[in-house]
Structure 1
Amino acid sequence: MSSSTEIFKLWGMSIGPIEIAFGLYLVFMLAIGIWAYMRTNDSSDYMLGGRGLGGAVTALSAGASDMSGWILMGLPGAIYFSGLSESWLALFLIIGAYINWKFIAGRLRSYTEIADNALTLPDYFAGRFHDGGKWLRIAAVIVMIVFYGYYIGSGLVAGSKLFESSFGYDYNTALLVSTIVIISYTFLGGFLAVSWTDFFQGLIIAISLVVAPIVLLVEYNGLTNIVEGVRATGETMGKENLASFTAGLFDENGAFLWITFLSLMAWGLGYFGQPHILARFMAIKSVNTVPQARRIGMTWMAICVLGAVFIGFAGIAYFGGDFAASEYKLLTTEEVNALNTQHGAEKVFLLLTQALFNPWLAGFLLAAIMAAVMSTIDSQLLAVSSSVTEDVYKPYLRPKASEKELVWVNRFTVLLVAGIGIGVAMSGSKNVLNLVGQAWAGFGAAFGPVIILSLLWKNMTRQGALAGVITGGVTVLVWDYLGSNTDIELFGLYELLPGFILAMLAIYLVSKVTTVSEQTANQFDWYSSEFKKYKS
């Protein structure tokens, strides 16, 4: 299948409307990186943009960095492959995101400023608990390095699938091209570049997830015909329950699948521990800006999630039956058959885009997928590089390092971490949703309970926080291993839930047998009084 009408050739490669539209988008992203580079003067600018983000930029950059390739590849692919029952995951994510905005965002913005103007999560932990021994900070940095390897790898897999499917590159070449593009503006402009590119990428993602469903509704003359098409396809494929919201929650005997339901519900818990999302809360202009950002962010998320679910669902009807291989749809039988695998299903939006739209608009919509990928990887690269610089290099290796030196250490750490992500992406695990799930669970279990209790519980101790980080992270790794290597049903439960629960217990029990320092208790009282002023 040719993805576009050829206009001219460059170094033996066909260049058409899709490639041109896509290229213009990438040039725009790099221009923002150069603009931000000119405005980055010190490590605070590079890591948090000087704590000056407005509500709209905070909301859309947080949303775009959260959703990643999952919103345009992972979620539509899951709906296409398994049916509407997979939308429960999206519902619980929306609930988790709202609670995170409502109860965590403002408190974290307030406390990070009081805790020695913390610029990273490990820095916040150290300032919140006065971690003189530094073990809490070190444990947090290790968790970030380990789980960001999975996360960045998932984004690079998504970006590589995009280049592979749209432009005909082999997987490894696509991986190299997408990596170079993504790290370029992150390397140059830091947090300011990441936030503003994520803002525009968030707009592009939302537009694409509104335009594509509208076109599909017009194509089918309404939702009723799409539902009928899905049911007909399900009967042909032996999957009669594709249009059911609850079918995936019951086995063939009608018994409720508690492990499946709890696993889907557990995804919402992950929001409380994602460093690249929490960094937006830390960087917002003031606590008073949070309500506006929350309204914008949740509206954006609802639109995007509903659009992604609709695309996956409509794709079942669109690519089902003999009509799928017709010239009108621009797909061969082999390409349609590839969609009927779990990995191949993640390309449903890519193929719909190329089948439905003229090449110029298709280029824009393909850019939306790259935007989703880029907006997460850039935030993750920045989060982990900032932690390595602020929490390892500066305190232990070069305490007297200049601001210029710290900025450049950040930049070169971006390159190093990107290399780790490439290794994960080339490891053979090419399923976006699985890689995202491992990283999401790791951060949610290791950091989520610590974040929640540190903001709400005065009697939490430094030792309790350290126990929570270690317990949550280790539980996720061990549970995932046991789930992959044993047949015990319990270990089929998503590892985030047991990791989160055990981390909470570890924090509580260890805090009960240790003592809060007077300095830490006084600081919590100060934070509580300051936050109440904002609420009033």
Structure 2
Amino acid sequence: MALNIAGVVAVMVFYLLILGTGMWAAKKAKKAERTRTGDKTEVALLGDRNISLLIGIFTMTATWVGGGFILGLAEAVYTPKMGLVWALMPLQYSVSFIIGGLFFAKPMREQRYITMLDPFQIKYGKVMSGALVLPALMVDVLWVSCTLLSLGVTMSVILDLPFVYSVWISAAVAIVYTLLGGLYSVAYTDVIQLTLIFVSLWLCVPFLLLNSSSLNIVHTAFNHTFQEPWLGSLEKDMVWRWIDDFLMLGLGSLSFQCFHQRTLSASSSRTAQLTCFAAACMIAILGIPPVLVGAVAVSTDWNQTLYGSPSPCERGDQTMVLPLTLQYLTPSFISVIGIGAVAAAVMSSTDSALLSSTSVFSLNIYKNMLRPQASENEIKWVIRITVVVVGVLGTSITFLSNSVLFLWLLGADLSYTLIFPQLVSVLFFKVTNIYGAAVGYVAGLLMRVLLGDKALGLPVVLHLPGGTLEDGVHVQTFAVRTFSMLFTLTTILITSALAVLLFDLRLLPERWDVRKQPGNVVPRDLKEEPGRDNNQRTSVLLEPILQNRS
């Protein structure tokens, strides 16, 4: 197949449009910096806490509707023994946003944190918060890899553009406009990207449903034709694993810095909550087209297409089912439009992951731990360098895996089992202290490793109820990740309460009580002060950490 010149030109036009929007947003960011009287870092990382409801809905939704979301959904629906019953990411993320809006958005926004890790840094100090930074950074790097992998796969199939070129060009575009305007560029480009995703995906649907090589998807939903029904099935011994996957994506997403970056950038606490609720509806709607793509692929006699026999499933090409379906079951101009949807989705998630990891590193590691005396200009350069380093690292990892779903689930696993219980405890349980957090972190990580994971190559050492043998290897069927998460949370709370009791009874020397050392006590709650411009001030909560800025 020759290089699709028209498709390449269309993608380049899209990239130029995104770059132009990013440059326009960068000018808006610089204007905000010039008028800012306090902490200018909030302009780059949080859009000066002035993101409106409409823009917030677009950027929140676009962040989650990435390449991994689109290709992962289609892959899950198409893969035998999975199907729609295992492809509930739109519903899971909707639940995540609703819970986030009800319980997390308001307290985080009212405290005017800059990153998700600020409450850890304030309450626990540098060492413990540093340990929590590592999995948070790893999640974002894996997210960059996941999204770029999905785009590289799609472009290589439809445009016949070499995978390596597709990935590096796309990464370069995302890095450049993220460098230019920070969250302003990310948020405003998300508006264009989400619009393109919505229009492009739904435009492809009629052509897919009406193509002559596929049977009616209603028939194949319940009947075995070319392969198992695309609705999938849930066997009795897999119920706990299904619950585990649902909770991992439904709750684990709340411990992503990307989520909190959007709520913290909202113009008010109320706006942050409404953003979550509206995004919950939007993401459910945008999950329908990729599900239909997977259903059509299951219903297709691939021998009647130019792809030929055997089918993608028999060749082990489930990862590429979305681009293959667009390429062989729709007219060429429609498949190019589908490329635009995937490219837009990738950009919207990649830039968010880049900015998320940059926020955590530049503030929680560099500024707060390594160089508290760093100037405003120095932090700017750290932000720029971090964007490039994370972009290059995430892009490089793309070449180590060929499964979008694998990278996506690995990042979600880390977030759910390690970070989520720590975030819940530090925000909602006053008894929590550094002793409980430290023991919970180590014990939770050890427990997750002992429970094993076939996909990661970790042997099962601790057997939970149930389990099966697959190719001679024991595989857990219990809710392994949820068990690990609850074990971590319980350990944090019990150890924290025990530490308080031992110190109160003076069974431990007072000099060991690091809770009373400066920097490990939560400052006073920040209240909105009447008569004062709350958008133009520096976060009082973080002043002890962010002092000495020029």
Amino acid in the other structure paired with 2:118:
D
Q: Which residue of 2 aligns with 1:533?
A: none
CA pair 360-447 structure 1, distance change in 2 beyond 3 A: same
- Unpaired runs of at least 5, structure 1: 3-12, 326-330, 531-536
Amino acid in the other structure paired with 1:228:
H
Q: Which residue of 2 aligns with 1:106?
A: 106
Q: 1:225 aligns with which of 190, 203, 216?
A: 216
Q: Which residue of 2 aligns with 1:85?
A: 85
Q: Which residue of 2 aligns with 1:22?
A: 11
1:168-207 correspondence to structure 2 within 5 Å: 168-207=160-199
1:343-422 correspondence to structure 2 within 5 Å: 344-422=317-395
The 2-side partners of 1:453 and 1:215 are apart by: 49
Kept after mapping to 2: 8 A contact 1:62/1:277: yes
Kept after mapping to 2: 8 A contact 1:312/1:349: yes
The 2-side partners of 1:28 and 1:312 are apart by: 30
Kept after mapping to 2: 8 A contact 1:201/1:371: yes
Q: Which residue of 2 aligns with 1:150?
A: 142
CA RMSD of aligned residues (A): 3.2
| Alignment pair present for 1:338 and 2:324 | no
Amino acid in the other structure paired with 1:208:
S
Q: Which residue of 2 aligns with 1:288?
A: 270
Tell which deviates more after alignment, 291-300 or 492-501: 492-501
| Alignment pair present for 1:433 and 2:408 | no
The 2-side partners of 1:65 and 1:85 are apart by: 24
Q: 1:263-313 CA distances to partner (integer Å, 9 max, x unpaired)? A: 322331212211111211111110121343234211211101223222211
Q: 1:164 aligns with which of 156, 159, 172?
A: 156
Kept after mapping to 1: 8 A contact 2:208/2:330: no
| Alignment pair present for 1:46 and 2:44 | yes
Kept after mapping to 1: 8 A contact 2:15/2:173: yes
CA pair 472-421 structure 1, distance change in 2 beyond 3 A: farther
Q: Which residue of 1 aligns with 2:548?
A: none
Kept after mapping to 2: 8 A contact 1:64/1:202: yes
1:513-528 correspondence to structure 2 within 5 Å: 513-515=498-500
Amino acid in the other structure paired with 1:227:
V
CA pair 518-402 structure 1, distance change in 2 beyond 3 A: closer
Q: Which residue of 2 aligns with 1:8?
A: none
Amino acid in the other structure paired with 2:483:
P
Q: 1:208 aligns with which of 185, 200, 221?
A: 200
The 2-side partners of 1:168 and 1:454 are apart by: 49
CA pair 518-199 structure 1, distance change in 2 beyond 3 A: farther
Amino acid in the other structure paired with 1:235:
T
Kept after mapping to 1: 8 A contact 2:137/2:360: no
The 2-side partners of 1:478 and 1:182 are apart by: 38
The 2-side partners of 1:341 and 1:106 are apart by: 49
Following superposition, the deviation at residue 472 of structure 1 comes to 4.5
Q: 1:137-169 CA distances to partner (integer Å, 9 max, x unpaired)? A: 211222223333322221221121122112223
Following superposition, the deviation at residue 211 of structure 1 comes to 2.7
Following superposition, the deviation at residue 471 of structure 1 comes to 4.6
Q: 1:404-445 CA distances to partner (integer Å, 9 max, x unpaired)? A: 221121111111112221332222x21011111011111222
CA pair 19-26 structure 1, distance change in 2 beyond 3 A: same
Kept after mapping to 2: 8 A contact 1:227/1:243: no
Kept after mapping to 2: 8 A contact 1:126/1:134: yes
The 2-side partners of 1:74 and 1:290 are apart by: 28
Kept after mapping to 2: 8 A contact 1:60/1:202: yes
Kept after mapping to 1: 8 A contact 2:440/2:489: yes
Q: TM-score, normalised by structure 1?
A: 0.82
Q: Which residue of 2 aligns with 1:445?
A: 417
Q: TM-score, normalised by structure 2?
A: 0.80
Q: 1:93-115 CA distances to partner (integer Å, 9 max, x unpaired)? A: 4323321222212222112x1xx
Q: 1:389-413 CA distances to partner (integer Å, 9 max, x unpaired)? A: 1122223443333222211211111
Kept after mapping to 1: 8 A contact 2:4/2:160: no
| Alignment pair present for 1:33 and 2:18 | no
The 2-side partners of 1:62 and 1:409 are apart by: 25
The 2-side partners of 1:91 and 1:256 are apart by: 23
Q: 1:262 aligns with which of 238, 243, 246?
A: 243
Amino acid in the other structure paired with 2:430:
K
Q: Which residue of 2 aligns with 1:496?
A: 481
Following superposition, the deviation at residue 52 of structure 1 comes to 0.8
The 2-side partners of 1:168 and 1:217 are apart by: 25
The 2-side partners of 1:493 and 1:367 are apart by: 40
| Larger helix share, 1 or 2 | 1
The 2-side partners of 1:173 and 1:303 are apart by: 32
Amino acid in the other structure paired with 1:126:
Q
Q: Secondary structure at the match of 2:289?
A: helix
Following superposition, the deviation at residue 366 of structure 1 comes to 1.0
Following superposition, the deviation at residue 47 of structure 1 comes to 1.1
Q: 1:272 aligns with which of 235, 250, 254?
A: 254
1:296-335 correspondence to structure 2 within 5 Å: 296-317=278-299, 319-320=300-301, 322-323=303-304, 325=305, 331-333=306-308
The 1-side partners of 2:336 and 2:302 are apart by: 27
Amino acid in the other structure paired with 1:388:
F
| Alignment pair present for 1:122 and 2:117 | yes
Q: Which residue of 2 aligns with 1:461?
A: 433
Q: 1:244-268 CA distances to partner (integer Å, 9 max, x unpaired)? A: 45x2x21xxxx44234323322331
CA pair 236-121 structure 1, distance change in 2 beyond 3 A: closer
Amino acid in the other structure paired with 1:507:
I
Following superposition, the deviation at residue 467 of structure 1 comes to 4.1
Kept after mapping to 1: 8 A contact 2:93/2:283: no
- Unpaired runs of at least 5, structure 2: 34-39, 468-474, 501-514, 531-550
The 1-side partners of 2:432 and 2:529 are apart by: 18
Kept after mapping to 1: 8 A contact 2:74/2:321: yes
CA pair 455-362 structure 1, distance change in 2 beyond 3 A: same
Kept after mapping to 2: 8 A contact 1:273/1:446: no
Amino acid in the other structure paired with 2:494:
L
